A and B are shown apart, each in its own frame.
Chain A
Amino acid sequence: QSVVTQPPSASGTPGQRVTISCSGGSSNIGSNHVYWYRQLPGTAPKLLIFRSNQRPSGVPDRFSGSKSGTSASLAISGLRSEDEADYYCAAWDDNLSAYVFGIGTRVTVL
């Protein structure tokens, strides 16, 4: 059971906008930045969003992050087949002195 929660699955058709939520508490999302990682099957995770809403260079602007209070979300607009992957939110937890990941959300393109 993770201290940050996200839905196990999400789906959409090509071109749609999909949003993944990530809910935490005052000691993690509420007081620290949120990060999003994408993992394609059989590969290492890749940083998608840092500082809650910043994209590393090379990440398309179809991906956007936001944070409000103890919740955060990742939005994927213009969904493509190659976006099928597992998406993880993460944050530092001040109480645990640990980096915590959500369980991951598997995005399926219908």
Chain B
Amino acid sequence: QVQLVESGGGVVQPGRSLRLSCAASGFTFRSFGVHWVRQAPGKGLEWVALTWSDGNNKYYADSVKGRFTMSRDNSKNMVYLQMDSLSAEDTAMYYCARDEGGDTGLDYWGQGTLVTVSS
């Protein structure tokens, strides 16, 4: 069955870095794009980043552009989100979700990993 499992969250001080991972299984990973979507406590969904299947086409929300970098390793069925210069505003649950790319939407989501930025 399709599974996406996020990891790497935790408590980090402002200005520091953190790398999130998303492990995919149960489908042909190299054929799918992957999004990161976050949700601050008590708030709505905020799209963060997208990488398509070849890993070369990447898109970022303005709020993270220049600080976050998304990458993928198709040989390991993994997606990563390198987060630098973190601030309290980045505190959120971070979800990864797959996207087939044929306007089918984000059809499978992981359970999320919580990032807390605090001194």
Report the minimum CB–CB distance from A42 to chain B (whole Å): 10
Report the minimum CB–CB distance from B5 to chain A (whole Å): 11
In the bound assembly, the distance between CA atoms of A79 and B54 in angstroms comes to 42
Report the minimum CB–CB distance from A6 to chain B (whole Å): 10
Cβ–Cβ < 8 Å partners of B103 in chain A? 33, 50-51
Contacting pair B44 A88 (CB below 8 A): yes
In the bound assembly, the distance between CA atoms of A51 and B103 in angstroms comes to 6
Contacting pair A35 B44 (CB below 8 A): no
Is A56 engaged at the interface, CB distance under 8 Å to the other chain? Answer: yes
> Which of A46, A50, A88 has the most chain B CB within a 10 Å cutoff?
A50
Report the minimum CB–CB distance from A67 to chain B (whole Å): 12
Report the minimum CB–CB distance from A48 to chain B (whole Å): 9
Is B95 engaged at the interface, CB distance under 8 Å to the other chain? Answer: yes
A93: nearest residue on chain B (CB-CB)? Answer: B47
A44: nearest residue on chain B (CB-CB)? Answer: B109
- Which residues of chain A from 1 to 59 have a CB within 8 Å of any chain B CB? 33, 35, 37, 39, 44-47, 49-51, 56
Contacting pair A47 B47 (CB below 8 A): no
Q: Which 10 A-B pairs have the closest CB atoms?
A: A50-B105, A99-B47, A104-B44, A44-B109, A35-B105, A101-B45, A47-B105, A33-B103, A103-B44, A47-B107
Residues of A within 8 A of B (CB): 33, 35, 37, 39, 44-47, 49-51, 56, 86, 88, 90, 96-104
Q: A49-B105, A101-B46 are in contact. List 4 more A-B contacts (CB 8 A).
A: A45-B95, A50-B107, A99-B35, A101-B47
17 contacts between A and B (CB under 8 A): A35-B105, A35-B106, A44-B95, A44-B109, A44-B112, A45-B45, A45-B95, A45-B97, A49-B105, A50-B103, A51-B105, A90-B45, A98-B47, A98-B59, A98-B60, A99-B47, A101-B46
